[in-house]
Amino acid sequence: MQVASYLKLSIVVALATIALKFGAWWLTGSVGLLSDAMESFVNLAGAIFALLMVTIAAAPPDADHPYGHHKAEYFSSAFEGLLIIVAAVAILWAAGLRFANPQPLEAVGIGVALSAVSAALNGALAWAMLRKAREHRSMALEGDARHLFTDVYTSIGVIAAVVAVPLTGWLWLDPAIAVAVAANIVREGVKLVSASADGLMDRALEPEVQAVIQRTLKEFSHHSIRFDHVATRRAGHRRFVDLHMHMPAAWTLQRAAALRASVEQALMSAVPGLRATIQLLPMDVEAHFHDEQDPL
């Protein structure tokens, strides 16, 4: 199953969990279950927007976007993160009203059962989506999966609180767990927005991936070949590395180009999804990029 198919499935599951959770809230009157249901609306909107961004990201390069559209996935995570924060504000508002006017819960057993079914659906889907996101290095799919995991943890906490309210008689526990839910999803929303910002600002590849690149280059290094100015970045599921390869000035262009092709192939084989750009330079020539700051 491809990334887009998982997102379509996420939309279907979001619709199902909205029905289950709102049914649980309607039966029990729990503001905690209401907060859980509101988060499912964020799941739905996030999945729809993620599907749109993944479709755009898959478009081939064109005249206006010669490097492709891979960064579109970062907008998906940022959008979902902002939606999460908005949902948290709405949850806090509902919790505040319930603190001011505590109410007993009704039909707790049925409400808990409906919420548990929705949590199981979200958990199974999130686990499958996260595996696929790591396989395809999809920021949009990973963001949606992590939000679903947050939803599962939220549901577990809400269920525990809803069960505890009739057992303890503490009516304040219901809005209190709603506040805890809001705090938890705000944390997740901030993480998603931060990750998206890092991606849009061309964050370097993960240290372990950079280590693989360095090991691969070391296989080609000797007294007449050296590499420097190695720079990496990620754009969506694509990875990029730019570097200089220095070699003897007496080499023919054909020999130099053949070695460069071998290095590029080795790098792309070692790091899936990598695109390597290698500039050829004589051994006695240095290039400097950071001697002066760009004018403001």
Write a three-state SS string for 248-274: CCCCCHHHHHHHHHHHHHHHHHHCCCE
User: Tokens representing 200?
Assistant: 């849009």
pLDDT band at 146 (very low <50, low <70, confident <90, very high): confident
pLDDT, tens only, 153-199: 778 877 887 788 777 778 787 778 778 877 877 877 787 777 777 76
C-alpha angle 153-158-162 in degrees, rounded to nearest 5: 155
According to the model, what pLDDT value does residue 260 have?
93
Nearest-angstrom CA–CA distance, 259 and 229: 18
pLDDT recorded at residue 25: 83
Q: What is the pLDDT of residue 288?
A: 59
Give the per-residue pLDDT at 218.
92
Look up the pTM and report it: 0.62
Structure confidence by residue, pLDDT tens digits, 4-24: 787 888 888 888 888 888 888
Domains assigned to the chain:
3-200 (1.20.1510.10), 207-282 (3.30.70.1350)
Q: What is the pLDDT of residue 290?
A: 55
Q: Say what the pLDDT of residue 139 is.
A: 66
Pick the closest to residue 80 from 140, 127, 126, 155 (CA basis).
140
**Model confidence band, residue 266 (pLDDT cutoffs 50, 70, 90):** very high
The residue that leads in pLDDT, 192 or 277, is: 277
Instruction: Convert the pLDDT of each residue in 19-51 to its tens digit.
Output: 888 888 888 888 777 777 877 777 787 788 778
pLDDT for the residue numbered 59: 82
pLDDT in tens, 68-117: 777 777 777 777 777 777 777 877 777 787 777 777 777 778 888 888 89
Average pLDDT rounded to a whole number, residues 204-215 = 90
User: How far, in Å, CA of 187 to CA of 197, rounded?
Assistant: 16
Q: Point out which residues pair with 244 in neighbouring strands.
A: 228, 279
Looking at every residue in the chain, the average pLDDT score rounds to: 81
CB-based burial label for 288 (10 Å; 0-12, 13-18, 19+) = exposed
| Residue 295 in this model has a pLDDT that exceeds 50 | no
